[in-house]
Amino acid sequence: MIIGNKEFDLDNKGYIMGILNVTPDSFSDGGKWNDVNKALEHAKEMVNMGATIIDVGGESTRPGYTKISDEEEIERVVPVIKAIKDNLCVAVSIDTYKSEVARAALNVGADMVNDIWGLKYDKNMAAVVSEYGVPVCIMHNRDNENYNSFMDDVIADLKESIKIAKEANIKDENIMIDPGVGFAKSLEQNLEITNKLERLGELGYPILLATSRKSMIGLTLNVDKNERVEGTVATTVIGAMKGASIFRVHDVLENKRALDMTMAIKRS
């Protein structure tokens, strides 16, 4: 897969996507990076620690989040994306489910779209992704937890999103999928889907895993959001063993080292 000007070998290698929330209210780091200079410095730190993609988000999607307007989200993300692209050689992802935000981000150099609603929230999103010819991460999500057969239903939901992508002429080589840990799932279901990631591999697309500091870890280990590094690292290692190739994390260095060790063992 080509993301920006870099070729990613998603069949044989693992990559770190560093989280950069330019929001006042994200669950883990809200308010830390919502100044352009601070955001750029943090992006530099993450690149130096081994991140090959920076995922910029302008609206918190934590449970119970407050939705903001397209205009406000654009005002938050565009200057940060522009600063990163002007100063760093790194792929940039825009974390949004709104097509106008995606368009504004792509216009200033974003290299891919990360959509937590799997192209289902905004009917124009797939068309925008197709128009710009960029990769898209299709995450599993739904507005309820009414599953009949959990893993089968998740795969069916993802197939619906993939169908939307293909109908918009998004190329197969530009699609990756995310199991949506923490979205419309109980603790038990989050653990199950992390344990059964290889089932998602049956769809034939690269897998992005985003578990960093999430409630699954907090509830399992009974620790708050600032003490979830080890739990996140464990999910990265298991994810890599089960076929995921991109890992969206806050703590880049720890996860990069664990990922590199895991991939070395896999390659042996």
**Helix, strand, coil distribution of the chain in percent, nearest 5:** 45, 15, 40
Strand 2-3 and strand 91-95: the pairing is unpaired
CA distances from 175 to 4, 64, 111 (A): 14, 29, 13
Compute the distance between CA of residue 108 and CA of residue 111 in angstroms, rounded to an integer: 9
**Candidates 214, 242, 266, 267; catalytic one:** 214
Q: Computed over its alpha carbons, how large is the radius of gyration of the chain?
A: 17
CB 136 within 8 A of CB 129: yes
**Candidates 76, 103, 248, 256; catalytic one:** 248
Respond yes or no: is residue 214 known to be catalytic: yes
Tokens of 198: 């290889």
Compute the distance between CA of residue 200 and CA of residue 29 in angstroms, rounded to an integer: 29
Respond yes or no: is residue 248 known to be catalytic: yes
Positions annotated as catalytic residues are: 214, 248
